[in-house]
Copies of this chain bind each other. A is one copy, B any other.
Amino acid sequence: MRDSSQLRPLDFDLGAQVHADGSCLIRLGNTHVLCSASLEEKVPGWMKGRGKGWITAEYGMLPRSTHTRTDREAARGKQQGRTVEIQRLIGRSLRQAVDLDKLGERQLTLDCDVLNADGGTRCAAITGAWVALAVALKQAGLEAALVRQVAAVSIGLVERGEGRRGLVLDLEYEEDHLAAVDCNLVAARATAEGDPGFAGGDLELVEFQSTGEGRSFTRGEALALVDLGLAGCAELMARQRAAVG
Chain A contact residues, CB within 8 Å of chain B: 16-20, 23, 30, 34, 36, 38, 40, 58, 60, 62-69, 72-75, 77-79, 81-85, 87-88, 92, 96, 109, 111, 113, 115-118, 148, 187-188, 198, 204-212, 214-219, 222-223, 226-227, 230
Contacts A81-B88, A212-B96 given: A116-B205 contact, CB under 8 Å?
no
Q: How far is the CA of A60 from the CA of B111 in the complex (A)?
A: 14
Q: Which residue of chain B is the closest to A81 with respect to CB atoms?
A: B84
* Partner among B16, B84, B204 whose Cβ is within 8 Å of the Cβ of A84: B84
> Can you tell how many copies of this chain the complex includes?
6
* Partner among B18, B82, B85, B209 whose Cβ is within 8 Å of the Cβ of A208: B209
* Partner among B38, B62, B187, B223 whose Cβ is within 8 Å of the Cβ of A34: B62
* Partner among B58, B84, B212 whose Cβ is within 8 Å of the Cβ of A205: B212
Q: Is the CB of A216 within 8 A of B206?
A: yes
* Partner among B20, B204, B217 whose Cβ is within 8 Å of the Cβ of A218: B204
Q: What's the minimum C-beta distance from A45 to chain B, rounded to whole angstroms?
A: 15
Contacts A34-B115, A67-B19 given: A210-B205 contact, CB under 8 Å?
yes
Q: Is the CB of B40 within 8 A of A58?
A: no
Q: What's the minimum C-beta distance from A92 to chain B, rounded to whole angstroms?
A: 7
Chain B residues lying within 8 Å of A215, measured Cβ to Cβ, are 198
Q: Is the CB of A187 within 8 A of B216?
A: yes
Q: Is the CB of B216 within 8 A of A188?
A: yes
Q: What's the minimum C-beta distance from A143 to chain B, rounded to whole angstroms?
A: 20
Q: Is the CB of B198 within 8 A of A216?
A: yes
Q: How far is the CA of A77 from the CA of B67 in the complex (A)?
A: 25
Chain B residues lying within 8 Å of A227, measured Cβ to Cβ, are 219
* Partner among B20, B115, B207 whose Cβ is within 8 Å of the Cβ of A16: B115
Contacts A17-B64, A19-B65, A60-B72 given: A210-B207 contact, CB under 8 Å?
yes
Q: How far is the CA of A63 from the CA of B56 in the complex (A)?
A: 13
Q: What's the minimum C-beta distance from A160 to chain B, rounded to whole angstroms?
A: 15
Q: Is the CB of A64 within 8 A of B204?
A: no
* Partner among B20, B64, B85, B212 whose Cβ is within 8 Å of the Cβ of A36: B64
* Partner among B74, B118, B206 whose Cβ is within 8 Å of the Cβ of A74: B74
Q: Which residue of chain B is the closest to A209 with respect to CB atoms?
A: B209
* 16 A-B residue pairings within 8 Å (CB atoms): A17-B62, A18-B30, A19-B66, A36-B62, A38-B64, A63-B111, A81-B84, A82-B88, A205-B212, A205-B217, A206-B211, A207-B209, A208-B208, A208-B209, A222-B223, A223-B223
